[in-house]
């Protein structure tokens, strides 16, 4: 939506909400009946509907709840302004709900605010409206809005209305905003310019990856099947295991690229916390957001979080095992593609292994795979020195795909430094020597 149209739509939405809420309060004090449906044909709705851009299944009432949650993000004193006109003599109005924030000096809307707008104080109508904010409601399932948990014993609807951050940015600024990496969101999006043609894997590995493609293409149809929907758990869980540099991360990224889905790599250094309960909190932040967005989650070096549980010898061991149990439960509930990567399959807890749909081995490339990797990595701007035999190099040196890329980078930089258009064989050999030295292998 163009910026001018966006600003106009926001003004219309706030104007509509202002009129509705003011009318509700005035009629309440005058003890007159009022139905929100009386505004159903208001001329402002078409512009508001276009701005919110929600599926047809969303009702007017659900859209009004969203407007209540949005109001203070645009006009900090929105509810105070309405109250000043409705009650010029002043006074507290408990029925409207609302709370004070930690930093925000005005009123923040709660579930009670939305209930009063939709139903006044009629018990039956309020229960009907409250169903629109339950855990099974459309707003919650779509991840657009939730009620902040309250202290035990307090009314559930006294919790703040919390709109989804990503959705909020989209409707207010007309753009998707990527989550900010940090302690509260310990995941980074990974992307690549490479294609499937750049990836060289063992034929059996490629065949198993095709199973993931099948799930990506047909899982929605399976979830709609009357029998399978009851018996098959949501999501697809797969373990990539094998030595570093064999293509595990690139494969995960290419799957996301093929199906147009973001791939987020979980940063284990940010996830694991020395404070009890913080690890689960960090993981939940990622899973909750990812499940709404259909992201592909990629746990690299997964042994750090999904490793074998220890015998309980101390309080630390007890809570460490609780973290693993929580993760086991959470990954089973995830409704998207979840990929774990590890150098060694035996490092993963057996309880996790039993719950994977697929275990895919990424071995060190064989001679044929290494030959293809060498030929496909030759820089486009350089000509290999006569006598450079890629097949011979492939047979002589056991090296991973990532290692071959590093060798080519080293040799290309040496050629560029000489202002030469020739990729020298001696530079390639020296690059191999460096890779072997890094891995402490004899050359």
Residues 356 and 400 in one domain: no
Q: What is the mean pLDDT of the chain?
A: 87
The reported pLDDT for the residue numbered 316 is 46
Q: What does DSSP assign to residue 363?
A: P
For residue 181, being part of any structural domain is answered with no
User: What total of structural domains would you count in the chain?
Assistant: 3
For residue 179, being part of any structural domain is answered with no
Give me the mean pLDDT over the 405-413 stretch.
Answer: 95
Give me the mean pLDDT over the 380-400 stretch.
Answer: 92
Going from the C-alpha of 232 to that of each of 235, 293, 332, 337, 351, the distances in angstroms are 9, 21, 11, 14, 18
Residues 306 and 379 in one domain: no
Rounded CA gap, 80 and 61, in Å? 22
Give me the mean pLDDT over the 282-286 stretch.
Answer: 75
Give me the mean pLDDT over the 162-188 stretch.
Answer: 79
> Tokens 């208001």 map to which residue?
42
The reported pLDDT for the residue numbered 312 is 46
Among 104, 138, 173, which residue terminates a domain?
173
Q: Which of these ranges, 147-151, 277-281, 373-377, has the smallest mean pLDDT?
A: 277-281
Residues 351 and 276 in one domain: yes
Residues 160 and 194 in one domain: no
* Helices marked H in 131-267: 138-141, 165-173, 203-223, 228-231, 248-259
Q: Which domain holds residue 418?
A: 367-438
* 106-146 pLDDT per residue, tens: 899 999 999 999 999 999 999 999 999 998 899 988 888 98
Residues 161 and 14 in one domain: yes
Residues near 370 by beta carbon (within 8 Å), at least 6 away in sequence:
393, 394, 395, 397, 398, 399, 404
Reported as a pLDDT band with limits 50, 70 and 90, residue 4 is confident
Residues 249 and 114 in one domain: no
pLDDT above 70: residue 309? no
* 78-116 pLDDT per residue, tens: 999 999 998 888 778 899 999 998 888 889 999 999 999
Look up residue 170 and give its two tokens: 């989209």
The domain that holds 424 is classified in CATH as: 1.10.8.60
Among 337, 361, 385, which residue terminates a domain?
361
pLDDT above 90: residue 270? no
For residue 272, being part of any structural domain is answered with yes
* 15-60 pLDDT per residue, tens: 999 999 999 999 999 899 999 999 989 999 999 999 999 989 999 9
For residue 62, being part of any structural domain is answered with yes
The domain that holds 340 is classified in CATH as: 3.40.50.300
For residue 182, being part of any structural domain is answered with no
Among 112, 138, 173, which residue terminates a domain?
173
For residue 433, being part of any structural domain is answered with yes
Going from the C-alpha of 48 to that of each of 43, 107, 327, the distances in angstroms are 10, 24, 41
Residues present in the chain in total:
443
The reported pLDDT for the residue numbered 319 is 47
For residue 373, being part of any structural domain is answered with yes
Taking the model in full, what pTM does it have? Answer: 0.72
Residues 82 and 152 in one domain: yes
Residues 127 and 7 in one domain: yes
For residue 443, being part of any structural domain is answered with no
Rounded CA gap, 411 and 422, in Å? 10
Residues 248 and 137 in one domain: no
Residues 247 and 375 in one domain: no
Residues 165 and 29 in one domain: yes
Rounded CA gap, 143 and 292, in Å? 6
> Of 151, 21, 131, which is closest to residue 84 (Cα–Cα)?
21
Residues 342 and 379 in one domain: no
């Amino acid at each position: 939506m163009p910026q001018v149209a966006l600003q106009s739509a926001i003004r219309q939405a706030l104007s509509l909400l202002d009129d509705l809420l003011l009318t509700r309060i005035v009629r309440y004090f005058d003890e007159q009946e009022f139905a929100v449906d009386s505004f159903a044909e208001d001329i402002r709705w078409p512009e508001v509907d276009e701005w919110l851009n929600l599926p047809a299944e969303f009702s007017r009432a659900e859209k009004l709840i969203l407007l209540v949650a949005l109001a203070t993000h645009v006009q900090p004193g929105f509810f105070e302004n309405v109250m000043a006109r409705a009650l010029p003599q002043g006074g507290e109005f408990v029925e409207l709900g609302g709370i004070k924030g930690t930093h925000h000096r005005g009123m923040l809307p709660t579930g009670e605010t939305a209930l009063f707008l939709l139903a006044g104080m009629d018990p039956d109508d309020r229960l009907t409206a409250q169903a629109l904010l339950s855990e099974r409601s459309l707003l919650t399932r779509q991840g657009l809005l939730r009620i902040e948990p309250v202290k035990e014993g307090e009314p559930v609807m006294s919790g703040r209305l919390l709109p989804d951050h990503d959705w909020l940015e989209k409707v207010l600024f007309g753009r998707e905003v990527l989550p900010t990496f940090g302690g509260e969101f310990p995941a980074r999006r990974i992307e690549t310019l490479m294609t499937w043609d750049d990836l060289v894997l063992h034929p059996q590995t490629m065949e198993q990856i095709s199973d993931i493609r099948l799930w990506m293409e047909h899982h929605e149809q399976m979830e709609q099947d009357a029998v399978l929907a009851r018996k098959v758990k949501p999501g697809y869980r797969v373990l990539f295991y094998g030595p570093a540099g064999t293509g595990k991360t690139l494969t995960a990224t290419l799957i996301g690229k093929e199906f147009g889905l973001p791939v987020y790599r979980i940063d284990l250094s940010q996830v694991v916390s020395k404070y009890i309960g913080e690890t689960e909190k960090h993981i939940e932040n990622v899973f909750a957001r990812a499940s709404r967005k259909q992201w592909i989650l990629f746990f690299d070096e997964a042994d750090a979080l999904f490793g074998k549980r220890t015998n309980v010898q101390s309080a630390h061991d007890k809570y460490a095992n609780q973290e693993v149990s929580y993760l086991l439960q959470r990954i089973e509930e995830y409704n998207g593609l979840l990929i774990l990567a590890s150098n060694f399959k035996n490092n993963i807890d057996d309880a996790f292994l039993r719950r994977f749909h697929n275990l895919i081995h990424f071995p060190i490339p064989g001679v044929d795979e290494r030959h293809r990797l060498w030929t496909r990595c030759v820089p486009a701007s350089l000509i290999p020195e006569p006598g450079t035999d890629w097949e011979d190099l492939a047979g002589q040196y056991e090296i991973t795909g990532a290692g071959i890329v590093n060798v080519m980078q080293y040799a290309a930089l040496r050629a560029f430094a000489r202002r030469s258009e020739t990729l020298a064989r001696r530079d390639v050999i020296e690059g191999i020597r460096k890779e072997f030295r890094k891995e402490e292998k004899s050359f």
